[in-house]
Structure 1
Amino acid sequence: MISKISEGVKISVETFYQPEYSNPVTNEFMFAYRITIENNNPFPVQLLRRHWYIFDSNAEHREVEGEGVIGVQPHINPSEKYQYVSGCNLRSEIGKMHGIYFMENSNNKKTFLVNIPAFEMIVPLKLN
């Protein structure tokens, strides 16, 4: 698991290769990732937007951005966590992602950025 704290918010990431949704013959590799967002601030926050940077080892680079995560803009109270699972498809067996969450202090409505740590997606056979 990879974790990083920025602006009082801890982001933890776990990744999982999804062989049942992958097809190596056609260079399709699917990964799931579980994100845990922990609010260590003394005020509630809301996740407004996300911006992902996705790097594939075949030299492809993509950016994905949009409102919230998995269709919601979660509110997270002090000392609480929010967790979700999403996925990423690659055209090679190795890749990396990192990004930014745009969050808002629910008390004063000021926005701030929270860094999502870089994490790798690697087909398990490549680790041997």
Structure 2
Amino acid sequence: MNERLPHAIGVDVQARYLESESAPEQDRYVFAYTVRVHNRGAVGARLLGRHWIITDARGQVREVDGEGVVGEQPLIEPGEAFEYTSGAVLETDLGTMRGSYRMQAEDGTPFEAPIPAFTLTVPRTLH
């Protein structure tokens, strides 16, 4: 039996360091991340809000809550995906982000979609 779960959201993230916007001498490290939210469920789901937990290399934790993503609250139909790019600024050259999306299925059911942890890091150069 290969029945789809009604509410199943997959999240993939690709992060990159923005050297041109960073100022390491001022402890300012800027990162962009592109998120792809894929509806693997059987019903459409609207992304209502987000909760991020951002941790830098010093163990400093910052939490961010907000409505939607990049000013939108997209409805993602089964088999479809929504992709967006956003950014984060850290005071260290290494950190992690993780969190969850607050979703509501078209059938009215609220649910959380976890965002797996990913790393924000400055690429190292070998000499």
Give TM-score scaled by structure 1 length: 0.91
Secondary structure, counterpart of 1:125 in structure 2? coil
Unaligned runs of 5+ in 2: 1-6
In structure 2, the residue matched to 1:110 is 109
Alignment of structure 1 residues 1-128 onto 2, 5 Å = 7-106=7-106, 108-125=107-124
- What is the alpha-carbon distance in structure 2 between the residues aligned to residue 39 and residue 59 of structure 1? 33
How many residue pairs end up in the alignment?
121
Displacement of 1:40: 0.9
- What is the alpha-carbon distance in structure 2 between the residues aligned to residue 127 and residue 76 of structure 1? 43
Aligned CA RMSD, in angstroms, stands at 1.5
**1:27–1:91 Cα contact (<8 Å) kept:** yes
Moved over 4 A (4+): none
In structure 1, the residue matched to 2:4 is none
Displacement of 1:60: 1.3
Give the letter for the 1:83 counterpart.
E
Distance 1:49 1:61, change over 3 A: same
Secondary structure, counterpart of 1:118 in structure 2? strand
Distance 1:110 1:127, change over 3 A: farther
